[in-house]
Amino acid sequence: MKNIIIASTSTLHGGDYLDYLLPELKVHFKDCKTILFIPFARPGGISYEEYTSKVALAFGKIDKNVKGIHEFEDVTKAITNAEGIFTGGGNTFLLVSQLYKNNIMKVLADAVKGGIPYLGTSAGSNICGLTMQTTNDMPIIYPPSFQTLGLIPFNLNPHYLDPDLESKHMGETRETRINEFHSFNNAPVLGLREGSWLDVKGDAIVLKGDLTARLFRKNLLPIEIDSETNVNYIK
């Protein structure tokens, strides 16, 4: 049975890394002593070692050990033998490229579908959808495919932002960009605001947090989804 937390972000304003999620993570990873961390997205270009140390500090608060996937000679075995897995945020293009380069996109998908507890934040959440095409990131590297894990039957837009009516900025809003996506693609897109996450247990996909999420479907007006709603009907 799938057991997944798909979070919009790792850090809320004024808080430390993963702090707002730690009570959930303590339960989510209750049977795990060590978490396998996938640092491939490298936010700000930090090294795998720096990123893994940052994650280890956060998970140490709930008495969990962390080991980076780059520390293993056989990355496939690292995934299949993992007690729990966390993929952090950063650049989704880089993350997806590295998953394909290491031939572990399908391995990771199968492991999570098989029940290994998984946490994704930001880029690590983007890859839970059907494709990475609704990421906000710059294409700093060219992945061989936009297809991702397909753990949920729609796409995500983490860090979703509503238009700022006071702003003088005349560029595209997130809603505009998602509408552009729907000019060429059919997959629904769920905009996850900061502090929101999806709790996936088997076939249930429940929106968590204090905020609503915004659902975009091709040729339909967007709608707001209330927290605690099971969104497994979105396809």
DSSP 178-204: HHHHHTT----EEEPPTT-EEEEETTE
Q: What is the dihedral of CA 197, 202, 204, 208, to 10 degrees?
A: -20
Residue 122 annotated in active site: yes
Report the C-alpha gap between 14 and 138 in whole angstroms.
26
- Which residue in 8, 122, 125, 196 is the catalytic one? 122
C-alpha angle with apex 98: 174 to 199, nearest 5 degrees? 55
3-state helix, strand, coil in the chain (%, to 5): 30, 20, 50
Q: Which residue has the tokens 């605001």?
A: 193
The active-site residue, picked from 125, 137, 196, 199, is 137
Active site residue 226: no
The catalytic residue among 97, 159, 196, 199 is: 159
> Is 169 designated active site?
no
Q: Among 3, 235, 30, 198, which residue's Cα sits nearest to residue 113?
A: 3
How many CB atoms are located within 10 Å of the residue 33 CB? 10
**Residues marked as catalytic:** 122, 137, 159
